[in-house]
Chain A
Amino acid sequence: MVVKMYWISKGFIFTKVDSFVHKLDPRVKLLISIQFFTLALLVSDLIDLAIIFIGIILLASISKILSRLIRTMLFALLFSGIILGINIIAGYSFIYSLQIALRFVAIVCSTSIFFLITSPDELEYVLRWFRIPNDLVFAFVTAVRFVPIILLDALQIIDAQKSRGLELERGNPITRIKNFVPILVPLIVNEVIRSGELAEAMESRCYGVVKKPTVLYELQLNINDKLAIPFCTSIFILGLLFSI
């Protein structure tokens, strides 16, 4: 189970890759993703969808993350299968249902590609650029930073309780829910302790002294970004014209 979860998670979680796209300004990356997202929302026929998929796949291969994006796609296909089924049962035509299902996959992919090419660090800069209040930005940073650590804690706890004879898949539905108590209690206790330590560390490093903290680096568009913006936008407008 852990292996499967890990495999799928790789389709959503950023890891450092050295590529042209990764070096772009995060705002440009956001722009490109939004453009794909909008097109995926607007187009209706299968050929247009196919063109969008080709675009996404091209972008993924330039950014050397194609293998990861395929994982996301497979994961999304699983759900789109369900969507397809429901639509057909609801009495829509097969072609129409297929369009809806594939559009869902395109939307998921255009979102996921943004997270695959943008590091959490860059994401933070984007949030600040949008003038999101510091407390919210910091909440986001902490969440992304500590989710993997909390997951590791959870895995440790599961292992510890399994070694004490806990079998999660044993018994009727009610006992199965009860089986989670020995995992949830230590997890909550650990995270309460952790958040106490975090709060102390934040206080002792002056968190919240000024409303708008300064930031080490500033987002700056370089020549590649300045070229990428008109290039992508013109393709986007072309796409818009064709789909309408």
Chain B
Amino acid sequence: MKEKSIIKFENFSFRYDSANEFILKNINLEINKNELVILAGPTGCGKSTLLRSIIGLIPHMHGGEYKGRVIVDQLVVNDVKITDLAKKAGFVFQNPENQIFMFSIERDIVFGLENLGTSRTIMKERVDSILSLLKIEHLATKAPHELSDGEKQKAALAGILAMQPKILILDEPTSLLDPKTAIDFINIVNDLRKKIGMTIVIVEHRLDLVVGIADKLIILSNGKIIENNNPKQVLHYSNQLIPEIGIPVISRLYRNLAKSNYDFDNVIVTVKDMVKEMRRKKFND
């Protein structure tokens, strides 16, 4: 039987060696193939820990008390090496500066492949296909310090895509970018999913950028999952919604209006939705 889920947490708990308390408590979670999932929650709720336990940085790099299992594309994280997982799941960190190692972007794109001893022909093909996939051919021979913030983030993404992972994990990839650049980046990520079919897990504070394209919104609070559902459902009907996750202004307005007996037919997350809905209700005609 073919599995539908690609990432699976089974009764997973984790405590860092340096801490007294568990940062993640009894997590049970399944993420399906080709889903785009947003992970949200207040700072320090365990989001980063959850992401790091998918690619094996936990427990293989950061040790601690580890309970339960994490299964990534049929591999049990605890039983395999980080490098085996690296081919399954790629991780784009928050600060692109600290994940571009080489002096030219094309060299950095193949950094992972070089480390695996991949042949030159394959690497050259891979560089070309990824540069054109992300439309950054012009950056190939540039040095990292010649790039803008947005370009650096794309270069970091390219370096991860070169390993052809099935899962892409993004830890606040836009927090250092300005709004339009951030939208561009999110659009690129969404296109990837359409073009090459990937499972994407993203931590993003600006929910308004991603709620429109995501399949699920998972809210983590105090090391526990308190919501896991369609983003519109969560934003509009959840009783457990916590303000830290950065609910878009328009969704908050919607919730307020809904409370005062405005009857909306659809769930609203963007200004465009709201305007359409109000027009339909003959508001302000």
Q: Do chains A and B touch in the complex (CB under 8 A)?
A: yes
Inter-chain contacts of A205 with B (CB < 8 A)? 86, 99, 111-112, 115, 159-160, 163
- Within 232-271 of B, Cβ neighbours of A (below 8 Å) are at none
Residues of B contacting A7 with CB < 8 Å? Answer: none
| Complex contacts, B1 vs chain A, CB 8 Å | none
A201: contacting residue among B99, B114, B119, CB under 8 A: B99
A206–B123 touching, CB < 8 Å: no
Q: B112–A216 contact, CB under 8 A?
A: no
Q: Report whether B115 and A208 are in contact in the complex, using a CB–CB cutoff of 8 Å.
A: yes
Q: Counting CB contacts under 8 A, is B231 at the interface?
A: no
User: With an 8 A cutoff between CB atoms, is B116 at the interface?
Assistant: yes
Query: A119-B103, A145-B103, A205-B112 are contacts. A200–B119 as well, Cβ < 8 Å?
Result: no
| Segment of A47-55, A168-176, A181-189, A191-199 in the binding face | A191-199
Total contacting residues, chain B, CB less than 8 A: 41
* Cα A216 to Cα B109 with chains together (Å): 10
Contact B95 A142 (CB under 8 A): no
CB within 8 Å of A: which of B82-109? 82-83, 86, 90-91, 93, 95, 97-99, 101-104, 106-107
CB distance from B166 to the nearest CB of A (A): 15
Interface positions of A from 124 to 158, Cβ below 8 Å from B: 124, 138, 141-142, 144-145, 148-149
- How large, as a class, is the contact surface on chain A? 20 to 34
- Picked from A121, A149, A197, A207, the residue with its CB within 8 Å of the CB of B103 is A121
* Minimal beta-carbon separation of B141 from chain A (angstroms): 9
Contact B103 A214 (CB under 8 A): no
A200-B57, A204-B86 given; A145·B101 CB < 8 A: yes
Are A194 and B98 within 8 A (Cβ)? Answer: yes
B282 smallest CB distance to A (angstroms): 54
Contact A209 B115 (CB under 8 A): yes
B280 contacts partner chain A, Cβ-Cβ < 8 Å: no
A209 touching B61 by the CB < 8 A rule? no
Cβ distance A116 to chain B, nearest Cβ, rounded Å: 16
CB-defined contacts of A202 to chain B, threshold 8 Å:
101
Residues of A within 8 A of B123 (CB): 214, 216
| A204–B82 CA distance with the chains assembled, in angstroms | 7
A207 to B143, CA, bound (A): 21
Answer whether residue B279 sits at the interface, using C-beta atoms and an 8 A cutoff. Answer: no
Residues from chain A with a CB closer than 8 A to the CB of B102 are: 121, 141, 145
In the assembled complex, the Cα of A213 lies from the Cα of B57 at a distance in Å of 22
User: Of A142, A213, A215, which is in contact with the most chain B CB atoms at under 10 Å from its CB?
Assistant: A213
Whole-angstrom distance from the CB of B23 to the nearest CB of chain A? 17
Closest-CB distance, A87 to chain B (whole angstroms): 41
Tell me if A215 and B144 are in contact (CB < 8 A). Answer: no
Alpha-carbon distance between A201 and B95 when the two chains are bound, in angstroms:
10
Question: Please, how many angstroms separate the alpha-carbon atoms of A203 and B114 in the complex?
Answer: 13
Expressed in whole angstroms, the minimum distance between the Cβ of B80 and any Cβ of chain A is 13
Query: Contact between B103 and A204 (Cβ–Cβ < 8 Å)?
Result: no
A178 to B: closest C-beta gap in Å:
31
**Which of chain A's residues have a CB closer than 8 A to the CB of B117?**
209-210, 212-214
Give residues of chain A (6-31) contacting chain B, Cβ–Cβ below 8 Å.
Answer: 16
Q: How does the 8 Å CB contact mask read for A210-226 relative to B, with 1 for contact and 0 for none?
A: 10111111100000000
For the complex, is A239 an interface residue (Cβ under 8 Å from B)?
Answer: no
B110, CB-defined interface residue at 8 Å: yes
Candidates A142, A203, A217; contact of B82 at CB < 8 Å: A203
19 A-B contacts (beta carbon < 8 Å)? A120-B103, A124-B103, A145-B101, A145-B103, A197-B95, A200-B57, A200-B93, A201-B98, A202-B101, A203-B61, A204-B55, A205-B112, A206-B86, A207-B115, A209-B83, A210-B117, A214-B117, A216-B106, A217-B120
20 other A-B residue contacts (CB within 8 Å) besides A148-B145, A204-B82: A141-B102, A141-B103, A145-B103, A198-B98, A199-B61, A200-B61, A201-B98, A201-B101, A204-B55, A204-B90, A205-B111, A205-B112, A206-B115, A208-B115, A212-B117, A214-B114, A214-B117, A214-B119, A216-B110, A216-B114
Chain A interface residues (CB < 8 Å from chain B): 16, 119-121, 124, 138, 141-142, 144-145, 148-149, 194, 197-210, 212-218
